[in-house]
Every structure is written in C-alpha cells, then in structure tokens.
Amino acid sequence: MRRSIPAVLVVVVGLLLLVDFVLVNPTVASLASGAQELIVLLAAAAALAGAATLVLRHWLDLSERRRDPLGSGVLLAGFAVMMVAGLYPGSAGASDPAVRWLVAALLAPLVAALFAMLFVFVLSTARTGVALRTRQAAVMLAAAAVVVVLLLPIGGSLGQSLAALAGWAFDVPIGGVFRGLLIGVATLTAVHAARILLTVDRADE
Amino acid sequence: MMPDIGSLLAGLLAFIGDQVAASSLRLGPLPTVAVLGIVLVLLSLIARPSTRWVARDLGRLAAVSRAMALAAESGGAAAFSLGSAGVARAASALDRLQTLAAIPVLSHAARAAARAGVPLRVTVNDPVAGHLADVALDAAHRSTETQERQERSTTEYIGEGRGVAAAIALAEAGAPAAAFVDGGLAEEAMLLLNGAQDGAAWTSFGTATASQAGSVLLEGDGTLIGPELYQAPSDLRAAGLERTGVLAANRIIVAAVVVIVLGSLLTVAGGTDLAAVLAGRR
C-alpha cells in the first residue's frame, strides 16, 4: 500500500504522455503540457533546495573546521560572488556582463583546464591497463593502436590506402559495434521504461 | 439539483465521444499500430517469465557482499557515484534514464554496506537524484533492520555540472574500500572514474553511454557496459518477473540481428534493400 500512490502517479503520467504521443487531441495535449511544466517546476524547486543544502553543508564544514574548510570557503566565496553578480540591484540576471565575465574568465577556463587533463589520464590509464594485462583492456588498446596507425598523416599511395582503410574501419567494424551497443541500449531502455510504467521494480531481497 | 445516474453516464459518454471526435492520429494508422504493437510485445514478454539471459556475474555485483565484508574488516568506507547525468538535469533522456537504472544497483550495494556496517557515501550532481539515493539508503537500512547505522551513510549533493563531478572525484582524498560509479557519463568519464578508483580495493563501474565504454573498461574491475547497466538490476533480483525484461530484450535483439543479417545478405545479393522497405523509403 505504501507504494500505491507513487505507482498510480507514474502509470497515469506515463500513459498520458504515451497517449499524447499517439493522438492529436487538444485536451490531452494541454494535460500533457501541464504535466511537463509541473516537472520543470519540480526540477527548479529541487535545484533551489540542492543549492541551499550545498551552502548549508559547506557553511557547517567551515564553521566547525571539519573535512576541507579551505575548499568550503572557496565554494562559499564563489557562490556569493556569482549571486551578487546576478542579483545586485539593476542586474540583468544570467545575461548581466558581470555574470558573463565570471563565466568566461573563470568558469570556462577552469572547466577547460580540467578536461585538458583527459589526455594525460588516458595515457596513464592505458599504461595501467597494459600492466594489469586484462583481456578487455588488451583488445581495446590493440584496436586503438590500429586506428592510430590508420590515421597517421602519411602522403602518397600508402597514405591514401591507409585513409581508405580507416574509413572502412569506422564504417564497418567500429560502426557495427556502436550500432550493436545502441540497439541493445535502446531496446533495454524501452524495457526499463515499461518496467517503471508497470511498477515491477521492487526490492530484490 | 443533482443529476441522476443516467444523465451522468450520458454526459460522460458525450464527453468521451466529443474527445474521440476531436482527436486524430499523429502518426497515421500503420505507424500507430506498429508503435502500440511494439509496446504490447514488450509488455507481453515482460509478463512471461521463463529463463535467465546471463549466467555470469555482471559488474562483479555478486561479490559486493564480500567486498563490504573486507571493507568492514579494514575499517574502510564505500563510495557510490550516480554518474553525472542526474534525473532533472539538462541532459538527454537516455542519459537520465541511466540514473534511474543505477538506483537498484545502489540499493544492492547499500544493503550489503548496511549489513556489514560499512559507511556508504553517495555523491550526486542533481538534487532529485540525491533524493532518490536518500530513499534507497533509507530503504536499505530498513530492510536490513540496521537503522542505528543509517547516520553513517550519507547522500551528498556536490553541485551542478559534469565537470564538478569529475573535479570532486579527483580532488577528494580518502580512498574508499569499495567504489561504484553507475549511471550516465559523458566526456568527463575518464576523470570521474579515475578519481573514484584511486586507491579503492574493489571497483564496479557502469554506463550505457556507448562512447564511454572504453573509459569503463580501462578503469573498472567490474564493468557494466551498454545494455548491461539495464540487465544488472534484473539479474540482481530473486524474482523471475523482472529478469524476463532482459529476456524480452534478448529475443528482440536476436530478431533485430536476424533482420540486419538478412537485410545485408539481400543487399549484397543485389536484391531488395530491406532497410529502405522497413524505413518506408520504397
């Protein structure tokens, strides 16, 4: 009985959206649109609650000097600066020049710096994979090595042959593996959605 | 004045009639029948349990209890990240559904952690996913009757963004005894997984994002690649009903493979282009 209300809600909303997908009906369309707007509102409320808990947790960490007080201080300072830039009297909100400058001058370079480390981590992880000698890692690294060789910037007839082979490799074996994965994922996504709609997801023990 | 039942029914029927009259098929008759047919086939297969699809241990999830027991002996903790797609974030629907698919895996790990008395720290970058994780932890402690240990397990919202999830995983010290990352991942996968597995004695990673399969394969001891993330929850359950979801998918995949092979043979033989026929281009 504890699960009955959420289960009914899931089934009703799921069927409503399914019917709206199949039928063109103004009443159903307005109901489905209302449900989707409600989801956006719920997500916005959840985001606000999330931000509040984030600030509260780091405030407590900072005031009680536990875990990483320096990190908490930086987070709270960044949060405050961004809030002030977006909410000061006369601010244009998210499109305010101060907010845009903070995003372009601080946030974007930070994210870019983080993702720039991917190259180092890929090499480091590949080395670990070779050292551990797992079968999957070996197969994957061998395939990666073949692709690297095929994409070498070589001119002449050899380069043309390698380029043609690279195109074939992308279209046939690699494309086939990706299609297989996508077909499997799409099928099981549909099955998973049906399981949620039928509320057959229950505790396993 | 209250209407009688006859008037009420007449009004109800009139309303339904009006709605039917005001409706039209969005996709046309044949595609609509095809869509509903697929749904019916899926539902009938789900409701008809018979056998298991796989016998092997997906993602090493059968060994979770042992990993938690070892963590308890060493006095360590366990960490679980629900990926970076969330449930209510601005990510694709397929990515967000992976977060929901990972919840049963979290429940499984949370029950093992609760029994072993190992603190479990769940990190999320979406408040809605955080709420789901909180409920999963609560249910795990209730089902194992270990509510007195619940305070030691936490769900933590680490902030918005995929980069944040990766940065937190890389920056935070304190190697967990067991580390899990399951859910939607994108370009930050390698960083997030590397940070999660750093120093961990036991790892299980999973994502259905095809482009990140390599990251999971290279980083994790136990892996759930592609469809396996959806298979694993079915395989964890004792009841056969959910497992048949996997079986249903298995049959449909076999049918799809047969169609692909048949279509390829027909195309190679210079006959009918089956793909064009199925896609309605001919």
- Of B128, B242, B253, nearest to A187 by CB-CB distance is B253
Strand pairing report for B78-81 and B222-225: unpaired
Q: In chain A, which residues have their Cβ closer than 8 Å to the Cβ of B242?
A: 195, 200-202
Region class of A63: left (phi > 0), else alpha (psi between -120 and 50), else beta: alpha
Residue A44 has a pLDDT of 86
Nearest CA in chain B to A18: B36
Q: How confident is the model at residue A203 (pLDDT cuts 50, 70, 90)?
A: very low
Residue A202 has a pLDDT of 52
A193 contact B CB<8A = yes
A194 contacts B230? CB cut-off 8 A: no
Quick: pLDDT tens for B69-97.
999 998 889 999 999 998 888 888 888 88
Q: How confident is the model at residue B3 (pLDDT cuts 50, 70, 90)?
A: low
The yes-or-no verdict on residue A145 having pLDDT over 50 is yes
Q: Which two tokens stand for residue A54?
A: 């984030």
Q: What is the ipTM, given to two decimal places?
A: 0.78
Long-range contacts of A141-145, Cβ-Cβ distance < 8 Å, separation of 24 or more: A144/B214
Nearest CA in chain B to A79: B159
Say what percent of chain A tops pLDDT 70: 93
Q: In chain A, which residues have their Cβ closer than 8 Å to the Cβ of B23?
A: 23-25, 28
Quick: pLDDT tens for A160-177.
888 888 888 888 888 888
- By the 8 A CB rule, do B170 and B194 touch? yes
B246 contacts A188? CB cut-off 8 A: yes
A147 contact B CB<8A = no
Select from B168, B8, B112 the least CA-distant residue to A71: B168
Q: In chain B, which residues have their Cβ closer than 8 Å to the Cβ of A122?
A: 190
Q: Any idea which residue has 């008759």 for tokens? A: B29
- Of B23, B242, B253, nearest to A195 by CB-CB distance is B242
- Amino acid in position B91: A
Report the Cα B163 to chain-centroid distance in Å. 22
B25 contacts A24? CB cut-off 8 A: yes
Q: In chain A, which residues have their Cβ closer than 8 Å to the Cβ of B35?
A: 21-22
B256 contacts A183? CB cut-off 8 A: yes
A57 contact B CB<8A = yes
A67 contact B CB<8A = no
Q: What is the DSSP letter of B238?
A: S
Mean pLDDT of B97-117: 92
Q: Name which residue leads in pLDDT, A84 or B244.
A: A84
DSSP string, B155-207: EEE--SSHHHHHHHHHH-----SEEEEES---TTHHHHHHHHHTT-SEEEEEE
Please tell me the distance from the alpha carbon of residue B18 to that of residue B22, in angstroms, as a whole number.
6
A193 contacts B24? CB cut-off 8 A: no
Q: How confident is the model at residue B197 (pLDDT cuts 50, 70, 90)?
A: confident
A183 contact B CB<8A = yes
The yes-or-no verdict on residue B52 having pLDDT over 50 is no
Q: What are the residue ranges of helices labelled H in chain B? A: 5-21, 29-46, 64-74, 93-116, 127-143, 162-171, 189-197, 213-219, 228-236, 240-268, 274-278
Residue A205 has a pLDDT of 46
Nearest CA in chain A to B106: A203
The yes-or-no verdict on residue B138 having pLDDT over 80 is yes
Report the Cα A175 to chain-centroid distance in Å. 23
Quote the mean pLDDT of chain B: 82
B32 contacts A22? CB cut-off 8 A: yes
Select from B112, B91, B83 the least CA-distant residue to B180: B83
Q: In chain A, which residues have their Cβ closer than 8 Å to the Cβ of B157?
A: 50, 53-54
Say what percent of chain B tops pLDDT 90: 22
Residue B49 has a pLDDT of 45
Strand pairing report for B178-182 and B202-207: parallel
Quick: pLDDT tens for B203-231.
999 999 988 888 888 888 888 988 888 88
Quick: pLDDT tens for A66-111.
878 888 899 899 999 999 998 888 888 888 999 999 999 988 998 8
CA distance B72 to chain A (A): 21
The yes-or-no verdict on residue A137 having pLDDT over 60 is yes
| Global confidence as pTM | 0.75
The yes-or-no verdict on residue A24 having pLDDT over 90 is no
- By the 8 A CB rule, do B205 and B228 touch? no
Please tell me the distance from the alpha carbon of residue B187 to that of residue B261, in angstroms, as a whole number.
33
Residue B45 has a pLDDT of 60
Lowest mean pLDDT among A156-160, B98-102, B148-152, B242-246: B242-246
Which residues between 101 and 120 in chain A have a beta carbon less than 8 angstroms from any beta carbon of chain B? 110-111, 114-115, 117-118
| A interface test, pick of B82, B192, B218, B267 with most A CB neighbours within 10 Å | B218
Residue B51 has a pLDDT of 43
Long-range contacts of A111-119, Cβ-Cβ distance < 8 Å, separation of 24 or more: A111/B161, A111/B163, A114/B163, A114/B166, A114/B167, A114/B188, A114/B191, A115/B163, A115/B187, A115/B188, A115/B191, A117/B191, A118/B187, A118/B190, A118/B191
CA distance A85 to chain B (A): 18
CA distance A161 to chain B (A): 23
B188 contacts A137? CB cut-off 8 A: no
Say what percent of chain B tops pLDDT 70: 82
Q: Which two tokens stand for residue B72?
A: 């308890």
Residue A153 has a pLDDT of 86
B17, with CB counted inside 10 A (0-12, 13-18, 19+), is exposed
Report the Cα A103 to chain-centroid distance in Å. 20
